[in-house]
Amino acid sequence: MKNTLQLWRVFPWDRAAAPGKPFSAEAQPVGQGSGRFDIPHLTPVRYLAESPEHAVGERIQTLRGQRLTQANLEWHRWPLALVGVSVSAEDHIIDLCNPHELVKHDCPPDTLASRDRKRTQGMAAQLYTTGATGFRWWSSVIGDWHATILFANRLAPEVLQWDETPQILTLDHPAVRAAAAMLGMYLPSHGQ
């Protein structure tokens, strides 16, 4: 029996969007290519966070040291929402936070942590050739956060089980407050 991971995603949400369509929880982002581990010549990837605050933090990280407003929790006219997803493919996900897996898959940590996209995307392509469903590695934002990168063309529909109702993000949402605190952002007092 496979273990199940609980992971998280933040996305712009249109309540009227059908599952899998743009602005739905299940939508696969389009236009990938410049992301840290993007390998569009092989497969789209899904970036998922291990905690709600990590998922939020990835979305708002560019505002470090600034005041966070409700407008920052929108994307064009769509509110940002947090959704959980259960992943039932843990035994096929390479845990690169485990030193033995780094050695086994010839993954130098300095390459994985590099800001050079050719290096990090090359490492993702190398991991893809193993037949794995994806891999786990540190967030580039904070080392305490870890991301799971999944190879979309290796995900059978039953592998991802999305929560039924995403949570609209507000300044009072606990994950927003926790992410903002970790990133040194200023939040208005409750009720302002």
132 in helix, strand or coil? coil
Write out pLDDT tens, residues 8-49.
999 999 999 999 999 999 999 888 899 999 999 999 999 999
For residue 86, the cross-strand partners are 6, 161
pLDDT reported for residue 188: 81
Residue 191: is its pLDDT beyond 70?
no
Record the pTM.
0.92
Longest dimension (CA), the chain: 52
| Helices and strands of the chain, counted as H and E runs | 5, 9
Residue 81: is its pLDDT beyond 80?
yes
168 in helix, strand or coil? strand
In 14-162, which ranges are continuous DSSP H helix? 52-60, 99-104, 109-112, 117-128
Question: How many angstroms separate the CA atoms of 80 and 169, rounded?
Answer: 6
Please tell me which residue, 191 or 163, carries the higher pLDDT value: 163
Write out pLDDT tens, residues 179-188.
999 999 999 8
Write out pLDDT tens, residues 48-66.
999 999 999 999 999 999 9
Q: How is the chain split into domains, by residue range? A: 5-182
What is residue 186's DSSP assignment? B
pLDDT reported for residue 1: 41
pLDDT reported for residue 3: 80
Once rounded to an integer, what is the mean pLDDT over residues 89-113?
A: 93
Question: How many angstroms separate the CA atoms of 56 and 141, rounded?
Answer: 11
Write out pLDDT tens, residues 124-163.
999 999 999 999 999 999 989 999 999 999 998 889 999 9
pLDDT reported for residue 89: 73
Confirm if 17 and 84 have CB atoms less than 8 A apart. no
Residue 94's H or E segment, with its range, is strand 93-95
